Amino acid sequence: MHWLDNWPEWAARLAWTAGTVGIAYAIGLLVRAIVGARVTRWAAKTHWRGDDGLLAFTDRVPFWAILIGVYVSLRHWSLAPDDYARAAQVLGALAVASFTFALAGVAGSLLSSYAPRHGHDVPVSALMQNVVRGVVITLGVLVIARGFGFEITPYLTALGVGGLAVALALQDPLSNFFAGVFLTLSGQIRIGDYLKLEGGAEGYVADFNWRATSIRLLSDNIVIVPNAKLAQAIVTNYHQPSREMTFVIDVSVHYLSDLQRVERVTAEVAKDVMASVPGGATGFNPVVRFHTLGPNGITCGVALRVQEFTDQFQVRHEFIKRLQARYGHEGIVVPFPPVDLRAFPSPPAQPN
């Protein structure tokens, strides 16, 4: 471009730089538009949940194009070899950093997408996603350090010695962190599981983080349990090995009742509840067993099965209502508990 010959040298170089970077940025926008559109159309046809991670790469293409344009435009400036090499290192570090963050996002998306396929269909905890992202970012930092000519081995040695001191000073946070990693990797407690802790609290596991596990109670309140305490606690997991669970309702009848008829009627009501009430395990055959000759009557246990823990409340509710109505229709007597009249004071004597 001969019209630049009349410009000052610095202005001409700046114009060449701006033009080069602008053309590179335009190419980056074009590539992002073409590739992004194809990825979006492909993602719409699949149920894969890692599509957002791939889109993160396409969103960074214009920035990478700018870095390439700046690198090419360095030749328009009269830089010393050392300055040119230093500028190239900075541009390379920015490119590696950008690529690392994009890769960390993709790794988190892939973990969320593929992990449930190899186990149970439950979401991956935020703790595991952060651990994966942290590993990728750490590797990216090491690559950048090597790009600037730093020897990594001495720093890793110093980090190991310093890490021991840090570990001694941060015992509680680190114990919670590794306990959370252990709980997540073991698969014994997963997001969405219904837990009952030995202290009495019970609810659904909402999430793990580096310090604690969030448990959502049925009242929609959140209980925060440190990971280390949860790893050492006695916990009942009502979603393992299966979400379905069996519970027993005790029913008492009068001593003069026909127990054969009681067993038949109770089983019929239980089967009807299993088949018609939402949450009941339709393939389960209820069991009725007499087990106690008590002071108030003969007691039997009725075993019912539900699809998950919270379904038992509706099933129990419907079973008691229908059983009481059916017993009344069949003439089966449910005895009242005996009342000790001595527990009530006698009325005062009336004056003559």
pLDDT band of 327, cuts 50, 70, 90? very high
In this prediction, residue 232 carries a pLDDT of 86
Is the same domain home to 191 and 297? no
Mean pLDDT, rounded, for 48-68: 72
Is the same domain home to 126 and 40? yes
In this prediction, residue 154 carries a pLDDT of 66
Segments forming the whole domain that contains residue 45? 7-150
Is the same domain home to 136 and 228? no
In a domain, 66, yes or no: yes
Is the same domain home to 74 and 185? no
Is the same domain home to 54 and 142? yes
pLDDT band of 228, cuts 50, 70, 90? confident
* pLDDT over threshold 70, residue 261: yes
Identity of the highest mean pLDDT range in 28-37, 114-123, 320-329: 320-329
In a domain, 163, yes or no: no
Q: What's the whole-number average pLDDT of the chain?
A: 78
The four Cα atoms 79, 83, 86, 92 give a dihedral, to 10 degrees, of -10
Is the same domain home to 186 and 71? no
In a domain, 155, yes or no: no
Of 24, 59, 63, nearest to 39 by C-alpha is 59
In a domain, 127, yes or no: yes
pLDDT digits (tens, 9 = 90+) for 182-207: 877 777 888 889 999 887 888 999 88
In this prediction, residue 263 carries a pLDDT of 95
Is the same domain home to 183 and 231? yes
| Chain centroid offset of residue 110 CA | 14
Percent of the chain with pLDDT over 70: 74
Query: Considering its fold, how many domains does the chain have in total?
Result: 3
In this prediction, residue 31 carries a pLDDT of 82
In this prediction, residue 269 carries a pLDDT of 95
Is the same domain home to 144 and 268? no
Identity of the highest mean pLDDT range in 26-30, 47-51, 159-163: 26-30
What is the DSSP code (8-state) at residue 189? S
How is the beta sheet containing 297-306 ordered, strand by strand?
A: 245-253, 297-306, 287-294
In this prediction, residue 118 carries a pLDDT of 47
Nearest-angstrom CA–CA distance, 227 and 241:
22
Q: Which two tokens stand for residue 280?
A: 């009941």
* pLDDT over threshold 80, residue 79: no
